[in-house]
């Protein structure tokens, strides 16, 4: 093997590169590599400890081996190696930013995301019924509780946000607004109409429509304030709290009331009988709507927000595997899609495995600050 071009660059032994430094260091190695050295890019798996599990971290490394091929052929091979390593580098960066890699502090003290807005017991857990409307109301309840935890997580943390975290917190809060607005619009434009047609009754959601109107103005003010900030530095937690308190009561009332309304449709005189084709079609309507309503709102923002505010421990773990989907897909939606806005999710109420965690902004807050957040 030829002598090294640079004494600081050991071409006769593996050189380990951390993902963030790969592009710069790889360029330097290529420039200094002797003519008779072939660079082989492989992957190294190291072990990183994270919340009681061993986490595989992709860390590319370079090994120098003798090269007996002509220079031009070697250049083509090098291009191929680079094409292979680039996806690995990108995946390493994504994984390093995924919610799966975030440090989790178990939730042991108040306040948490179960207040000030109260969470809703699921109709199935309370009544043990399994008819299509009780089931549909239960799934809606689980979605509503994710939204309520989102509201509560914003409410408690807004007064405690530090300057360095303001941009991420504004993004997290805007994702909540987008979630709620899309959910409302999808109900009005799709679900309610289909249920009204099913029951041949245009009045079943009359009160629900009024409830929607009762908080939409305040919700719009919430979004207007955040989207009109000239800079994240201008964010005021006190100002946001004033806006939130203005629509909190009608918002909470509606999110609870709607669950009772849907569950009560089982007693409607035109409700399809269990075991009939009509009941099967109605059940499919709820399932289809439920699968699409969150994903259509935004894969990189609303979906991770929804899943990272979904407590899988509630009601004796009955909903640990809800929503039903293959585990790799759920993992990807949280950790790969979630990596795009990775800085936002530290404010979420649950970790990547659905376990409640202490709210980020309260972790280093003083006792007085925590007391203020609890008010």
- pLDDT for 106 equals 73
DSSP state of 181: H
Residues 224 and 298 in one domain: yes
Residues 276 and 151 in one domain: yes
**CA gap 194, 37 in Å, rounded:** 68
Residues 293 and 166 in one domain: yes
Query: Worst-scoring range by mean pLDDT, 42-56, 175-189, 192-206, 210-224?
Result: 42-56
For residue 297, what are the domain limits? 103-374
Residues 89 and 148 in one domain: no
Residues 112 and 199 in one domain: yes
Is 267 within the bounds of a domain?
yes
Structural domain ending residue among the three candidates 74, 97, 120: 97
Question: Which of the two residues, 366 and 374, has the higher pLDDT score?
Answer: 366
Residues 197 and 88 in one domain: no
Residues 92 and 116 in one domain: no
Structural domain ending residue among the three candidates 97, 112, 144: 97
Residues 257 and 325 in one domain: yes
Query: How many domains does one find in the chain?
Result: 2
Confidence of residue 102 (pLDDT cuts 50, 70, 90): low
**CA gap 321, 339 in Å, rounded:** 22
Using the predicted structure, report yes or no on whether residue 266 has a pLDDT greater than 90. yes
- pLDDT for 364 equals 78
Structural domain ending residue among the three candidates 97, 128, 158: 97
Residues 164 and 313 in one domain: yes
Kindly state the percentage of the chain with pLDDT values over 70: 69
User: What average pLDDT does the segment 297-321 reach?
Assistant: 97
Calculate the average pLDDT of the chain: 81
Token code pair at residue 25: 């260091």
Residues 224 and 89 in one domain: no
Is 4 within the bounds of a domain?
no
Which among 340, 140, 338 is positioned nearest to 348, based on CA atoms?
338
Tell the burial category of 313 from Cβ atoms under 10 Å away from its Cβ (0-12, 13-18, 19+).
middle
Question: Which of the two residues, 322 and 49, has the higher pLDDT score?
Answer: 322
Is 36 within the bounds of a domain?
yes
Tell the burial category of 255 from Cβ atoms under 10 Å away from its Cβ (0-12, 13-18, 19+).
buried
Confidence of residue 75 (pLDDT cuts 50, 70, 90): low
Is 10 within the bounds of a domain?
no
pTM of the model: 0.74
Which among 283, 255, 244, 248 is positioned nearest to 121, based on CA atoms?
255
Confidence of residue 291 (pLDDT cuts 50, 70, 90): confident
């Amino acid at each position: 093997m030829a002598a090294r071009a640079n004494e600081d660059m050991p071409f006769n032994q593996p050189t380990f590169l951390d993902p963030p430094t790969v592009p710069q260091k790889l360029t330097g190695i290529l420039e200094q590599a002797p003519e008779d050295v072939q660079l082989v890019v492989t992957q190294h798996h190291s072990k990183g400890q994270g919340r009681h599990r061993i986490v595989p971290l992709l860390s590319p490394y370079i090994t120098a081996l003798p090269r007996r091929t002509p220079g031009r052929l070697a250049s083509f091979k090098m291009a191929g190696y680079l094409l292979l390593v680039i996806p690995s580098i990108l995946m390493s960066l994504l994984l390093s930013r995924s919610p799966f890699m975030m440090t989790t502090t178990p939730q042991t003290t108040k306040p948490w995301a179960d207040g000030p807005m109260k969470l809703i017991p699921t109709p199935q857990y309370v009544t043990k019924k399994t008819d299509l409307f009780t089931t549909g109301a239960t799934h809606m309840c689980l979605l509503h509780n994710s939204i309520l935890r989102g509201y509560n997580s914003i409410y408690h943390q807004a007064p405690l946000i530090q300057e360095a975290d303001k941009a991420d917190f504004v993004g997290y809060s805007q994702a909540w607004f987008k979630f709620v607005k899309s959910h409302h619009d999808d109900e009005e434009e799709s679900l309610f109409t289909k249920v009204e047609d099913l029951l041949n009754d245009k009045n079943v959601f009359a009160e629900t429509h009024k409830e929607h109107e009762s908080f939409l103005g305040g919700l719009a003010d919430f979004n207007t304030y955040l989207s009109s900030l000239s800079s994240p530095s201008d964010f005021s937690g006190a100002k946001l709290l004033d806006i939130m308190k203005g629509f909190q009561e009608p918002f909470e009332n509606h999110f609870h009331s709607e669950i009772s309304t849907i569950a009560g449709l089982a007693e409607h005189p035109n409700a399809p009988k269990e075991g009939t084709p009509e009941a099967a079609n109605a059940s499919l309507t709820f399932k289809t709507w439920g699968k699409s309503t969150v994903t259509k709102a935004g894969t990189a923002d609303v979906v991770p927000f929804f899943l990272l505010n979904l407590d899988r421990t509630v009601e004796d773990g009955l909903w640990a595997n809800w929503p039903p989907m293959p585990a790799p897909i759920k993992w990807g939606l949280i950790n790969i899609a979630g990596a795009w806005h990775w800085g936002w999710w530290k404010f979420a109420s649950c970790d990547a495995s659905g376990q409640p965690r202490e709210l980020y902004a309260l972790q280093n807050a003083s006792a007085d600050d925590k007391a203020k957040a609890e008010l």
